Structure 1
Amino acid sequence: MAAEPWHDAARTFLVAVSVAGLFPPVAALFEASMQMHMLVQMPLLAVCGGYLLYRSTRLRGWMARVDPSGGIALVFGSGWMIYWMLPLTLDLATFEPAMRLLKIVTVPVCVGAALTWAWLRLGPIGRGVMLLEGWAMFGRLGWVFLISPEQLCSNYLIDDQQRTGSLLLGAALVSAVGLALWALFGPFRKSHRTELA
């Protein structure tokens, strides 16, 4: 019971941060650089959706009826995540109010909640696939941003683009380490050892 006020405060904060992104002053802060836009606001929105799914028994019950295995959520969430990491989409979200609203709505629901549900429902192999796909996506996109001689986003300069690429490659490295640790010490490895014993 003592933890409930903390959970309520966290939920209120995440929702407030998400909704505040619709207002021009806050939107300008989040969208001032590619790093803030892609690596701060987008994860915050996704965490908001994942947290609300985790705390809502009604939403989880509906998801259990629609997608009991989590496979549909994995494909759906991955597709939306790729969509919002495209340079053209980032550009449109900085000056088109309709695209900004679409971002505020779909990143929490279609990325955060969907991928959280997939993680909760998939077994160790499925979670390994999620980690592997995250590593590959961060690595590919980071490499393109880093080595591209051309400015890919009209609103973000090439040095901003290259810094984002370096950070994405760093995230890919962290994902690779996480994947290796999961393979060595995760539930799949433990169950394999139990079968051998």
Structure 2
Amino acid sequence: MGSTASLAASVERESRSPATLVAEARNVLAPLQFVKFCMNYPTECEARSGEEPTLSRVEALAALEEVNSRVNRSIAPTVKSNEPLVARWTIGPAAGDCNDYAVTKRHELLAMGWPSSALRLAVVFAPEGGHLVLVARVKDGDYVLDNLSQTVRPWNETSYAWVSIESTVNPKFWVAVNGRSPQGAAQKSAALD
């Protein structure tokens, strides 16, 4: 029999309102640092099938919450250079920024057998500026894993302006988020480069 805390967490996950799916729009350019990331970690950018669709909603959300929490604790937050020639997204650093948190979470979930089509990096505009998060698709919708929150939330319950996201078809391609992109999204997403 599980602990009271895990039972309470399971009930809380089950009572959440369902998320919706991120609506993809036209193709857009991938962030420059993503292109460099794929050059440094080519296997991370390959399309992969996986087992996620067989997980129940509760099991999927529990896995997402565990990875989100663990990675948020394992990387010390730091401000890194956004100079295009110097900046680099890194998997599992001791200290890093939002980009490092997002790619590390994606890496860990891929290693657990999730398909790449269910794990997409997304550029958003937060009050502090450009920000990168991981969006995970489960049976009822898309959820955000974020270094600024210990809670895995439905994507449409964040306060972010959505700019672009990896395509579900091919992780090397990016698309605009339909109806969620602020004016000047291209300039804002450049803050991640």
Place the TM-score, normalised by the shorter chain, in its bin: under 0.3
- Greater helix share, structure number: 1
Higher relative contact order (CA 8 A, sep 6+): 2
TM-score by length of 2: 0.26
Q: Which has the higher strand share?
A: 2
Query: Which entry has the higher C-alpha Rg, 1 or 2?
Result: 1
